[in-house]
A and B are shown apart, each in its own frame.
Chain A
Amino acid sequence: MFNGIKGVLYRELNVYKKRARKQILASSLSPLLFLIAFGWGFGDKVVAGGMPYITFLIPGLITMSSLNQSYGIAQEINITRFYFHLFDEYLIAPITYMEIVLGEVLYGMFKGLLSTLLIFVYAVLFKVQLILSPLFFAAIIIHTFLFASLGTTMAMIVRDHGSQATVNTFVITPMIFLCGTFFPVDKLPYLFKLIVYVLPLTYSTKVIRASLTGGDVNLLYFSLMILFAGLFFCTAYFAVKRVEA
């Protein structure tokens, strides 16, 4: 039991260990740039969602950065699948598809949570007060689970590296910019509001921001996060199941 999960994690974490320094350095740069540009650049005068902009921004950076990292396993799975053909090694082993999916998703969550930790370091450096509640931990776990599952799904259904990049350009990047990470979505025109409320990041950002800044967490949004997470985990499972090496 669980040999598949252990195997996938052993592989992913060992490779990660060898690249850890480079990876962490690279993933820490873009949130820092956002903080300098929008946090310091705008100063304390700008208020968003009833709080100083930098306080508003930090939770957004947490969801953005952890999304990037959790979803980013898609790229790595792609390389192991198309380039190293290592995925065949999983498929011929006496393990279930469920174990493969769980292994990859856990790895994605690990990366997402690591980047969350990093933003907390920035929060301290930029003197932003945040509230750590159990609800926040539940939300960030669901959030990283959701996007790691989505990443695994995408890695399995694309046919090559190129289509992976297309998905990033047309789905991931717009989502990161539109779903309330940098500004409150309530001010968007009606049409965009419609789009934004279909995308899961909107809900995780709202829930995570509310829990970190002492606002009221909308339980409907929280439930929707769980729903999305469940949905993408199922798609990941079925995508792995139908994959032929």
Chain B
Amino acid sequence: MKEILKVKGLVRKFGDKTAVAGVDFSIQEGEFVGLLGPNGAGKTTTIRMLTGLLKPTEGEVFYYGKDFSRHAKEAKGFIGVVHQYSNLDRDLTAYENLYLHCILHGIPKEERNSRIEESLEFAGLAEHRDRQVKTFSGGMKRRLVIVRALLHEPKILFLDEPTVGLDPQIRRSLWDLIVKVNQLKSMAILLTTHYIEEAERLCQRVMIINRGKIISSGSPEELKKDLGRYVLEVFHEDHIEERFYNTREEALEELKKCTLSSRIREVTLEDVFLKLTGRRINV
């Protein structure tokens, strides 16, 4: 497998505030990676630097070994981006929005129509092709933005909080769409999210980011194993204490000694997340 993206010592400061404080990672072809972190951890800033919307204060980004800052035009050809917000043109129809993307990405004229029809089909929006985007629901806009990012057949797709603010049904249907993209088109995906379940269900590898730094990385299973497989929750008067154990037996042993009410459950990715990022909310 070939390495698509390599990031070295990426830093971004806004004034004296450091949003991203030195991030290193790489992504292979076809890999599905999650960037999981609380609000304000630096996920979006990272994505924006990787896609050319923000200039890094320090550090380097390479696509297929080529420096992004010097080969931006070439690299942008194999990047697809879905932003947190819908950046469709509300005055244009679904078809026109996709057509604009085709022009900007230099897709040959004779291929445009068939690619657009195919995309609309893929997104389940075929019958809405000539409707202005301002009449679309949130879920429809999201689907359209995703297939738009795929029109030029990128090698890597950046999804910045793709399901934020959507209801569970639409979230599931979007997950299906995203998995289909990863599997059928064997496209690498970097997804940012603060929904733990989303990272756990979709990603082969999860990087946990907090305060601008990646503090842990591995498959969801590996990350959980590092913490222990079982957790003993002890219910104190004002808080719940969590103790982690590798086997159920160890946990049971401890449970017997407990005088307070307590219970045993399996470790989730959420435990890992909270353990690593802390419980205090600092946005």
Interface residues of A (CB under 8 A from B): 3-4, 6-7, 10-11, 14-15, 18, 80, 84-86, 88-96, 244-245
- With CB as the reference atom, state the residue of chain A lying closest to B106: A3
- For B90, B103, B106, the residue with the greatest tally of chain A CB atoms inside 10 Å of its CB is B103
Interface residues of B in 68-118 (CB under 8 A from A): 72-74, 76-77, 79, 81, 83, 85, 87-92, 96, 99-101, 103-106
Instruction: Show 19 A/B contacts (Cβ-Cβ < 8 Å), sorted by A.
Output: A3-B105, A7-B100, A14-B91, A15-B89, A84-B89, A86-B89, A88-B87, A89-B101, A89-B104, A91-B53, A92-B53, A92-B76, A93-B76, A94-B73, A94-B76, A94-B104, A94-B105, A94-B106, A244-B55
Asked if B48 CB lies within 8 Å of chain A CBs, one says yes
A244-B96 in contact given A84-B87, A94-B106 (Cβ < 8 Å):
no
**In the complex, A11→B52 CA distance in Å?**
22
**In the complex, A104→B193 CA distance in Å?**
35
Query: Assuming A84-B89, A91-B53, A245-B53, what are 15 further A-B pairs, CB within 8 angstroms?
Result: A4-B104, A6-B103, A15-B89, A15-B91, A84-B87, A84-B90, A88-B53, A88-B81, A89-B100, A89-B101, A90-B104, A92-B51, A94-B76, A95-B73, A244-B55
**In the complex, A92→B158 CA distance in Å?**
11
Asked if B240 CB lies within 8 Å of chain A CBs, one says no
Residues of A close to B96: CB separation below 8 A: 14
Is A93 within 8 A of B105, CB to CB? yes
A7-B53 in contact given A18-B91, A88-B83 (Cβ < 8 Å):
no
Residues of B close to A10: CB separation below 8 A: 99-100, 103
- With CB as the reference atom, state the residue of chain A lying closest to B145: A89
Is B103 within 8 A of A7, CB to CB? yes
A91-B52 in contact given A4-B104, A84-B89, A85-B85 (Cβ < 8 Å):
yes
1/0 contact trace for B43-80 toward A, CB 8 Å? 00000100111110000000000000000111011010
Interface residues of B (CB under 8 A from A): 48, 51-55, 72-74, 76-77, 79, 81, 83, 85, 87-92, 96, 99-101, 103-106
Is A80 within 8 A of B89, CB to CB? yes
The smallest C-beta distance from B95 to any residue of chain A, in angstroms, reads: 11
Residues of A close to B87: CB separation below 8 A: 84-86, 88-89
Q: Helix, strand, loop or mixed for chain A's interface?
A: helix
Is A244 within 8 A of B100, CB to CB? no
**In the complex, A95→B101 CA distance in Å?**
12
Is A3 within 8 A of B91, CB to CB? no
* CB contact between A7 and one of B72, B74, B88, B104 (< 8 Å): that residue: B104
Is A11 within 8 A of B100, CB to CB? yes
The smallest C-beta distance from A92 to any residue of chain B, in angstroms, reads: 5
Residues of A close to B54: CB separation below 8 A: 244-245
Residues of B close to A90: CB separation below 8 A: 104
Residues of B close to A11: CB separation below 8 A: 89, 92, 100
**In the complex, A11→B98 CA distance in Å?**
11
Residues of A close to B90: CB separation below 8 A: 84
A3-B83 in contact given A91-B52, A94-B73 (Cβ < 8 Å):
no
**In the complex, A86→B88 CA distance in Å?**
6
**In the complex, A170→B2 CA distance in Å?**
56
Residues of A close to B92: CB separation below 8 A: 11, 14-15
The smallest C-beta distance from A245 to any residue of chain B, in angstroms, reads: 4
**In the complex, A13→B89 CA distance in Å?**
13
**In the complex, A18→B96 CA distance in Å?**
13
Is B53 within 8 A of A244, CB to CB? yes
A92-B52 in contact given A3-B106, A15-B89 (Cβ < 8 Å):
yes
Residues of B close to A3: CB separation below 8 A: 103-106
